[in-house]
Structure 1
Amino acid sequence: MGKSTKKQPPTTPANISHSQGDLTRFLDKKSKQANTSEESKMADAMRRSPSPAGSTASGYSTTSLPQDLRSLFANLPTKADLNAVAQTIQEAHKADIADLRKDLQAIGDAQAQLEVRLEKAETVCNTVFDRVNDHHRYLYLIKKQMEELDNRGRRNNLRIRGIPESVTQAELRTTVCAIFNTILGKAITEPLELDRDVAIFPDLAWLTLQQRRALKPLTTTLREKEIAYRWTFPFALIASKNNRQFSLKEPAELESFCKALDLPDIKLNDWTDLAYNGDLLDQLCTDYWIPAHQRASRGHRSHTATPRSNME
């Protein structure tokens, strides 16, 4: 009598698996997310905590590394090896620096000897130049003496230019008398008598005439400055200014002569060539370098005192 109950049919595993299969897509997603979060947490923990000895950052042991990589690490140079290489390089550099120092010493000694020889050669050359210049002056003085003797022998001579070559030596006296009588306004055959003042210029030597011609630029300047001058014998030019006389006898005195008379610089190259056969020789000047022995006495660094290396 009671209520009749209707029995439910028993569930079969197939039905259970079917229902689980329907839920798997939801459950797997959650489980995957949980697994992913757990792995990320483990990775963060491993990054924060140091790796134990014998393991890598990924957690794998170094014993699992390949054999060739371990041998490569074992063959890396140590600190002792690097120190040995540095010591070898330092010793090689010391040897090279020692050789360079010897070469510099040899070059310095050779330069010092060369400077001493050059100084001696300079002294000898200057002495030779002085003697050559003196010889030029002596030759000029000799030429002046010969010029003076020539002028003395010509003082009583009268030079008549323009007589044709057709006049013979026998007819020369008659021809000269005729010329002088014509100048004096007398008959040609009348005896020659100089009864009035006649300006007769002396017959000068060839060197005297050439020197006066070479000094023409100077005499022209003197006339422009209204400075009186005159020629003397032996050859010289004497100028007067402010009651003082200044003489010019050779080209070497030209500069001082012009300064004394307040004249501009005048170059008389023709006179220099005529008197000295060219310009006088100038002495050698080597003031731009200091000999080795003078450098040592003045406190300069000598060749032997080469800079020392810090590697010693």
Structure 2
Amino acid sequence: MDEFLATPHGLRNSGEAGASAPDSPGSSIAGSARDSCTPGTLSQISADLAAISASMMTRKDKGKMVTELSAIIREEIAAVRTDLTALEQRVDVLEVERLQTQQHRQASELATTRQGNILLDLRRQVEDLDNRGRRNNIRIRGLPESEDEVPQEILTGLFAQILGDAAPGDFGIERAHRALRAPRRDGLPRDMICALLSFPLKESIMRAARSQQHITYMEAQISLYQDLSTITLDARRALRPLTRALQERRIPYKWGFPFSLQARVGNVWHIIRWPNDVPRFLRSANLPTITVPNWILEQPPARATGPTEVAHNIHLEPGPPRHRGGPIGPEE
């Protein structure tokens, strides 16, 4: 292009064109282009074009770049596959460990359940043995308390009054003492507990006490109860709302040993031995929903200042509820 513009023929043609149309619009544009397109400017443009052409990638360069990118991608994919394989192995190990843990947990729950059942059976046996050891015991409530008292003499006079003409010459009191606790703050006397050598004599005294409406001795109202274990007393306290409902509906009930509550509805006896028997018992007796604490799992209620034990009462025939603190003990 430079050679063409530099030749006299090109200049001549340009001059001739300009001379042939001096007044045409194109002549001024051509003159301006001729003035701006100096040899230096054209050289710069050529150099720029050459640089752009040199910087452009060839097919060989593109193929090399694609090859390098492919190699990098293959390496990255191989690394990802390696990581996935390691993760898969770890997941397999975790799955095996989870299965083993689940099996151990199930075995532990089964063992815990078995041990709980064994402990409940042992508790029931201990409770029964404790109550059997108290079979000859009588708990007397209401006897005035003094420091110089002689329990055997007091109880001999009381039992003789209860039995009357059927009283033997010797009651065979093996031991007698006040309840093993500090004196009550309200000033009421502590219960007196005695153990008789003869079980039939003890039953005779209890039957005679039940047959009497009131027992007064030493100018005090006296009540006689069967001595019971603490476990049994806690269970009876827990079932007190239920026994009150039975009394209100005149449904006969009785206590059994080992511990149970038995109620007769129609000609069928329904029994409670464990806390989970309560819902079925309520449905069978047509009783409303009654909240009964779990006397095995829950903490037993705090005891009052004085004892609140109950007698081993047997209610076989319906009748009006007996007054609290009578000869056969407070109502449950």
Q: 1:251 aligned to 255, 267, 275, which one?
A: 275
The structural deviation recorded for 1:231 is: 1.8
| Preserved contact between residue 211 and residue 274 of structure 1 (Cα < 8 Å) | no
The structural deviation recorded for 1:202 is: 1.8
State how 1:202-217 maps to structure 2 within 5 Å. 202-217=226-241
- Relative distance call for 1:267 and 1:184 in structure 2 (3 A) is closer
1:198 corresponding residue in structure 2: 209
Q: CA–CA distance in 2 between the matches of 1:215 and 1:172?
A: 33
Opposite residue 213 of structure 1, the aligned amino acid is: R
1:36 corresponding residue in structure 2: 25
| Preserved contact between residue 232 and residue 238 of structure 1 (Cα < 8 Å) | yes
Deviations 1:183-232 (A, max 9, x none): 7999xxx99997x9421532212211111112334444555676554321
| Preserved contact between residue 241 and residue 290 of structure 2 (Cα < 8 Å) | no
2:289 corresponding residue in structure 1: 264
- Relative distance call for 1:180 and 1:151 in structure 2 (3 A) is same
Answering whether residue 134 of structure 2 is matched by residue 172 of structure 1, we say: no
Q: 1:116 aligned to 72, 84, 96, which one?
A: 96
| Preserved contact between residue 215 and residue 271 of structure 1 (Cα < 8 Å) | no
State how 1:217-296 maps to structure 2 within 5 Å. 217-220=241-244, 228-241=252-265, 243-258=267-282, 263-264=288-289, 266=291, 268-273=293-298
Opposite residue 210 of structure 1, the aligned amino acid is: D
With normalisation by structure 1, the TM-score equals 0.56
Answering whether residue 160 of structure 2 is matched by residue 149 of structure 1, we say: no
1:107 corresponding residue in structure 2: 87
RMSD of the alignment, in Å? 4.3
Deviations 1:150-203 (A, max 9, x none): 3233233222245636245xx3222223445677999xxx99997x94215322
Percent of matched pairs sharing the same residue: 27
With normalisation by structure 2, the TM-score equals 0.53
The structure carrying a bigger strand percent of its residues is 2
Q: How many residues align?
A: 224
SS for the counterpart of 1:273 is: coil
The structural deviation recorded for 1:233 is: 0.9
State how 1:15-30 maps to structure 2 within 5 Å. none
- Relative distance call for 1:124 and 1:81 in structure 2 (3 A) is same
Q: Which runs of 5+ in 2 are unaligned?
A: 1-20, 32-36, 172-203, 211-223, 301-332
- Relative distance call for 1:242 and 1:83 in structure 2 (3 A) is farther
Deviations 1:19-51 (A, max 9, x none): xxxxxxxxxxxx87x2325556x89xxxxxxxx
Larger radius of gyration: 1
Higher relative contact order (CA 8 A, sep 6+): 1
The structural deviation recorded for 1:69 is: 4.6
| Preserved contact between residue 162 and residue 209 of structure 2 (Cα < 8 Å) | no
SS for the counterpart of 2:270 is: strand
Q: CA–CA distance in 2 between the matches of 1:225 and 1:175?
A: 40
Opposite residue 98 of structure 1, the aligned amino acid is: A
- Relative distance call for 1:175 and 1:261 in structure 2 (3 A) is closer
State how 1:60-139 maps to structure 2 within 5 Å. 65-67=45-47, 69-139=49-119
Q: CA–CA distance in 2 between the matches of 1:166 and 1:105?
A: 87
| Preserved contact between residue 214 and residue 271 of structure 1 (Cα < 8 Å) | no
Q: CA–CA distance in 2 between the matches of 1:269 and 1:37?
A: 114
